[in-house]
Amino acid sequence: MRRRILAFTAVIVTVALVIAVLSVTVLRSTPTYPMRAVFASANGLFPGNTVEMLGAPIGTVTDVVNTGNTVLVTMQVEKKYPLPAAVQAALVSPQVLGEPSIEMSPGYTGGQSMAAGRTIPESRTSVPVSTDQLLKDVQSFLSQINPQATGNLITNLSQDLSGQGASLNQLLGNAAGTIQLLAQKGNSLGQLTTSLAQITATLQTRTTTLSDLIRDYNTVSSVVASHQSQLGTAIADLAGATSQLSQFLGPNLVPLENDVAGVTQVGRTVSANLGNLDTLLNSTNLLFAAAGRAYDPTHNWLNLNLALPAGTTASVVSGYIRDRLSGICRRLLANHSAGLPASTLQTLGVCGNPASGFFDPLLSVIPSILDTLTSGPGGGPSATALAALIAKGMTMIPGAANIQPPTAATPTPPVAPPAPSLSAAGASQLPPMPTTTTTTTPSSGGLGGLFKGFLGGL
């Protein structure tokens, strides 16, 4: 029996040697390229161990060298098996018996491959925990457990859980539902986490701004605190002023209400005449522009000849005045003829026609007026001479002297005066021109009063 065992063993050894020689021969006949990998440890790994990819052999370990805290493993990989550029190497130990091998992953499917002779860093290698080490760790952990404390814990748990089976089942069921709900809301929770991360990042970038805001607030608070006595005095003075104002407004509420009513009426009137006011304001702009060029501050009068373009003759001035006066007549006839006597309407119709010659008696004195304006001291007439010329011009307007212009201090009651005559009678009754500035209100009783107010303002 002993001989048979020895013979059987010799046969097995012979077969193993033959297989090893054949394997070396096959490997030597297959083209390979070198590759290295750094492992934290390499227990049981020796030259000749297999290099695999997805469980299939692709090469052989040729050298295992300890380099201090790591192990450098050199391999020969068949050229027909390229490795990806980010390949990972793992030391795989057999379950019970056998030799460890090196497992490469993932498999190469295309793209950049790892060049021959390159080294896989330790960050892309892994070493499994040995069974001995695992048992040592478990033994160390169990040795640190107090048996008495563990027994007490189990006893207390058994007492606390006694009769609580239904509650525990319900708790586990709810927990399962909660876990399922959390799984369904995973995307929403992920978005919420992303939003919170963005808000946190934004707040971090705004730290300086918030610090400045808090610093400014502290500065303002300190300033207010240091001037609280002045602020208290100001508030007290404001309260006293408010009290005095209320005492002043109390007995004057009725007049104020009347004034407000008057202002309201004026506002409504202005609103109803916005179109006319717009036209008036546009004309006023032109008037002030001309007055700026023609006003003589030395004699306090308007140099009419200077207000016109250079080279303007007396006939041109007469035409301008005739057109303006005729335009006034036409506007009065078109917009303000209601209630006027027939004689006044007839007069307005005649004077509204520039070709009727209605204003020729007045316009005939314009040349002499222009001559006189440039013949006085300093290039202009005296105030007396100018008033006499205007009075002379007024005598040329039929009925211009029939109406006495009321002053602002003594308003005239709205009583319609008699219709003006077409003759020049009563021209001598024209009152002298005032030497001081007074506010006049033209009478609406007749054509003479209208022209007198117009020329008096001029």
Q: In terms of DSSP H, where are the helices of 227-313?
A: 228-249, 253-272, 274-294
pTM above 0.75, yes or no: no
Specify the residue for token string 């070709």: 355
Name the 3-class secondary structure at 7.
helix
Q: Does residue 166 lie within any of the structural domains?
A: no
Q: Is the dihedral of CA 140, 141, 144, 147 positive or negative?
A: negative
Give the model confidence (pLDDT) of 220-263 as tens digits. 888 888 888 888 888 888 888 888 888 877 788 888 888 888 88
Look at strands 50-53 and 32-39 and give their pairing: unpaired
Q: Does residue 90 lie within any of the structural domains?
A: yes
For residues 21 and 44, membership in a common domain is answered with: no
Which ranges of the chain have pLDDT less than 50?
Answer: 307, 403-445, 452, 454-455, 457-458
For residues 318 and 304, membership in a common domain is answered with: yes
Q: Does residue 21 lie within any of the structural domains?
A: yes
For residues 392 and 442, membership in a common domain is answered with: yes
Which residues span the domain enclosing 450?
A: 293-457
Q: Does residue 60 lie within any of the structural domains?
A: yes
For residues 92 and 14, membership in a common domain is answered with: no
Give the model confidence (pLDDT) of 279-316 as tens digits. 877 777 777 766 666 666 776 766 655 545 656 677 78
Q: Which helix (H) or strand (E) is 149 found in, with range?
A: helix 147-161
For residues 3 and 46, membership in a common domain is answered with: no
For residues 329 and 353, membership in a common domain is answered with: yes
Q: Does residue 426 lie within any of the structural domains?
A: yes
For residues 17 and 96, membership in a common domain is answered with: no
- With beta carbons less than 8 A apart as the criterion, state whether 345 and 333 touch: yes
32 forms beta bridges with 78
Q: Does residue 234 lie within any of the structural domains?
A: no
Q: Does residue 230 lie within any of the structural domains?
A: no
For residues 52 and 108, membership in a common domain is answered with: yes
Tally of domains in the chain: 3
